[in-house]
A and B are shown apart, each in its own frame.
Chain A
Amino acid sequence: MWEYTDKVKEHFLNPRNVGEIDNPDGVAEVGSIACGDALKFMFKVDEKGRITDAKFKTFGCASAIASASALTEMIKGMTVEEAERITNQDIAQFLGGLPQEKMHCSVMGREALEAAIANFKGSPTKAADEEIICQCFGITDKEIERAVLENHLTSVEEVTNYTKAGGGCGNCHEAIQGLINKVLGQMVEKPVARPAMSNIKKIRMIEETIDREIRPSLKLDGGDIELIDVIGNRVLVATRGACASCQAANRTLKFFVETKLHELVSSDLVVEEVSQ
């Protein structure tokens, strides 16, 4: 069991500012259901640039909920400039600390805040020159470097605790170590090359494509399709209704679904059907 502080428990059991704001001035969604936690965060600003209201919705564990609740409490009454200076450490401190393995929850809070402020200001969230290091959780080099710098991290394990990077397949551990060394001013080793699209983005695009382009056509024939998992370039789906018992289903998947995904997401995707 995690050793949560009383304040974490209290914010988890009685979260503040849950919900949504009509016409928010800044809004952001970070994380994804595939990764196990997600945060939708928004705020309202008055004419003097002061944050008058903040609300959130969280899918996640106790510390993810508590971190989001804490964040909304912290920024109310602040100017946007003041809020901009909040770090993940501030969120963790507000809660009396978080277990090491749960520090990524405070980082998610800070990311949501930053993205919402960027949305408020109308500036892009992630700079174009950022590179995805962790494919599993879609974490970029800049995010890792920042976490290392702000939290004085020295090991890959710590980086995983704070950012989730490296917590999946583990292929990026060497690259993460390279970034730690770089930040610590030691010998710099160039991280390995990587494709541009993050897993999260890819999963989202696949989900959207299935929803918008594929499902309606299948439904015309009394069938349906569900996305089960995305492993690398393998897209695992299950068919429902008429599709599940249809002899032509396999062909439907291979030709129709795959073609759509190639067209709209990425040309290297392979569709596989899993039994459901």
Chain B
Amino acid sequence: MKTIYLDNNATTQVAPEVLEVMLPYFSTFYGNPSSMHSFGGQVAREIRKAREQVAALLGASPEEIVFTSCGTESDNAAIRAALLAQPDKRHIVTSRVEHPAVRALCAELRSRGYRVTELPVDAEGRLDLEQYKESLTPDTAIVSLMWANNETGVIFPVEKAAEIARARGILFHTDAVQAVGKIPIKMRNNAIDMLALSGHKLHAPKGIGVLYIRKGTKFSPFLIGGHQEGGRRGGTENTPSIIGLGMACELADRNMGTENTRVKQLRDKLEKTILETIPRSRVNGETVNRLPNTSNISFEFIEGESILLMMNEYGICASSGSACTSGSLQPSHVLRAMGVPFTMAHGSIRFSLSVYNTEDEIDFVIEKLPPIIENLRALSPYWTAEVAGACKAV
């Protein structure tokens, strides 16, 4: 059975070009880039190149790039460093819809005596900048707001928010794991102090991430050890993955246009057709400021895990914000923060595309999904004759 992979916000396939440049660094060129001999030194040269490739995608300088093990490490390192650098400040501003890498960390910091403001979002998943401004205090050490939401794709105005923070002398961090490679980012032109990205969301392997640290930002390392990464992250470099990430960033730069035209068109076709053919379905999150590859759709009166497993029978891969898939018995914190009603929240499905998806794949999903929803609704005690009849009448 062919796999139709529409779960690219979970992880992506490693691009063939990326794998190709990585392979020699597992075998032939296994040297340590810190070594004095040229056998190791030649690897250091490639890492330098990768750093430049990442910096180019972000519109940053190579020395502002720190390689880490994943997005979560980058988020943790950024927030903890900001707090360590300003021991007298005890307040953190973040949002209710952050990824657990930030959200769980902030909860942990709260239990250690920090004050955490979790900004709400509206029904469309948007932030209120006025409310954000009001939340900033002289005691605020750092703001951490995601660039784009992993579940809905909704984009936060982080550049504006960062300017507001800078004007008050407050550090600004963004989890840009979902945004990098999908929308243009120019760190040179904004006021963001730290940014986290993850390799496996943009066709590099798992186990590699980046923390961008703006030049001049006070920083103390999260992993303390050797002098690697300019003393900002100890530990021998994950050389094949760093080199792979460099190539992935170059590809992302090249594919940015495709992402925002062809991928976006496919996403829009998928979304539009689903909404037209399936009654009592709706998009979660605003559709204007949104990643080009993401669509989060709720199907009323049925449960997400069932939908996923039915789609799985056809090789279609997606995600859900339902309780049964969240591992917590409650539906996704993002949908709850947006006030999505219970009847909709449990039946939410996230489709996330990549440049590797084709129109044939989208057509296949468009064909298979309506009967799946219909069959599950036939099982549902809430899908009464009255509801079904009202839908037909529309």
Across the interface, do B305 and A61 meet the contact criterion of CB distance under 8 Å? yes
Across the interface, do A164 and B381 meet the contact criterion of CB distance under 8 Å? no
**Is B333 in the interface zone, CB < 8 Å from A?**
no
> On chain B, which size bracket covers the interface?
20 to 34
Task: Given A33-B346, A36-B323, verify A61-B339 contact (CB < 8 Å).
Answer: no
- In the complex, residue of chain B having the shortest beta-carbon distance to the beta carbon of A4: B309
**Is B324 in the interface zone, CB < 8 Å from A?**
yes
Pick from A59, A62, A275, A276: contact of B381, CB below 8 A. Answer: A59
Pick from B339, B343, B381: contact of A58, CB below 8 A. Answer: B381
**Is B123 in the interface zone, CB < 8 Å from A?**
yes
- B363-387 contacts to A, CB under 8 A, are 378-382
B374 shortest CB reach to chain A, Å:
13
Pick from A18, A29, A60: contact of B378, CB below 8 A. Answer: A18
Across the interface, do A61 and B324 meet the contact criterion of CB distance under 8 Å? yes
**Is A133 in the interface zone, CB < 8 Å from B?**
no
Residues of B within 8 A of A26 (CB): none
B309-334 CB contact bits vs A (8 Å, 1 = yes)?
11001000000001111011111000
B376 shortest CB reach to chain A, Å:
8
| Stretch binding the partner chain, chosen from A83-91, A226-234, A255-263 | A226-234
Pick from B303, B328, B336, B343: contact of A60, CB below 8 A. Answer: B303
Across the interface, do B327 and A60 meet the contact criterion of CB distance under 8 Å? no
Residues of A within 8 A of B313 (CB): 13
Across the interface, do B381 and A229 meet the contact criterion of CB distance under 8 Å? no
Across the interface, do A167 and B330 meet the contact criterion of CB distance under 8 Å? yes
Residues of A within 8 A of B281 (CB): none
Pick from B309, B310, B382: contact of A59, CB below 8 A. Answer: B382
Across the interface, do A274 and B309 meet the contact criterion of CB distance under 8 Å? no
Pick from A36, A167, A236: contact of B331, CB below 8 A. Answer: A36
**Is A180 in the interface zone, CB < 8 Å from B?**
no
The CA of A236 and the CA of B367, in the complex, are separated in Å by: 37
Residues of A within 8 A of B322 (CB): 36, 61
Task: Given A34-B342, A65-B379, A227-B341, verify A101-B327 contact (CB < 8 Å).
Answer: yes
A167 shortest CB reach to chain B, Å:
3
Pick from A29, A35, A57, A60: contact of B306, CB below 8 A. Answer: A60
Task: Given A12-B309, A36-B323, A59-B303, verify A167-B328 contact (CB < 8 Å).
Answer: yes
- In the complex, residue of chain A having the shortest beta-carbon distance to the beta carbon of B343: A33
Across the interface, do A59 and B301 meet the contact criterion of CB distance under 8 Å? yes
**Is B145 in the interface zone, CB < 8 Å from A?**
no
Across the interface, do B122 and A62 meet the contact criterion of CB distance under 8 Å? no
Task: Given A36-B324, A65-B306, A167-B329, verify A57-B339 contact (CB < 8 Å).
Answer: no
Residues of B within 8 A of A39 (CB): 381
Residues of A within 8 A of B327 (CB): 101
The CA of A65 and the CA of B302, in the complex, are separated in Å by: 11
B328 shortest CB reach to chain A, Å:
7
Across the interface, do A275 and B378 meet the contact criterion of CB distance under 8 Å? no
The CA of A137 and the CA of B379, in the complex, are separated in Å by: 22
A235 shortest CB reach to chain B, Å:
12
Across the interface, do A275 and B122 meet the contact criterion of CB distance under 8 Å? yes
Residues of B within 8 A of A57 (CB): 379-381
**Is A173 in the interface zone, CB < 8 Å from B?**
no
Across the interface, do A236 and B379 meet the contact criterion of CB distance under 8 Å? no
**Is A25 in the interface zone, CB < 8 Å from B?**
no
Task: Given A18-B379, A34-B342, A228-B341, verify A60-B324 contact (CB < 8 Å).
Answer: yes
Residues of A within 8 A of B336 (CB): 229
A223 shortest CB reach to chain B, Å:
17
Pick from A15, A64, A229: contact of B339, CB below 8 A. Answer: A229
Residues of B within 8 A of A64 (CB): 303
Across the interface, do A226 and B341 meet the contact criterion of CB distance under 8 Å? yes
- In the complex, residue of chain A having the shortest beta-carbon distance to the beta carbon of B324: A61
Across the interface, do B305 and A168 meet the contact criterion of CB distance under 8 Å? no
**Is A198 in the interface zone, CB < 8 Å from B?**
no
A124-159 CB contact bits vs B (8 Å, 1 = yes)?
000000000000010000000000000000000000
The CA of A227 and the CA of B302, in the complex, are separated in Å by: 18
23 contacts between A and B (CB under 8 A): A13-B310, A33-B343, A33-B346, A33-B382, A36-B303, A36-B346, A38-B382, A40-B381, A58-B381, A59-B302, A59-B346, A59-B382, A60-B324, A61-B306, A160-B329, A164-B329, A167-B330, A226-B341, A227-B341, A228-B339, A229-B339, A275-B123, A276-B123
- Known pairs A12-B306, A36-B323, A65-B306; list 15 more (Cβ under 8 Å): A9-B309, A13-B310, A29-B381, A33-B346, A33-B382, A57-B380, A59-B346, A62-B306, A62-B309, A167-B330, A229-B339, A238-B123, A274-B339, A275-B122, A275-B339
Q: Which 9 A-B pairs have the closest CB atoms?
A: A167-B329, A61-B324, A36-B323, A61-B305, A40-B381, A57-B381, A276-B123, A274-B339, A34-B342
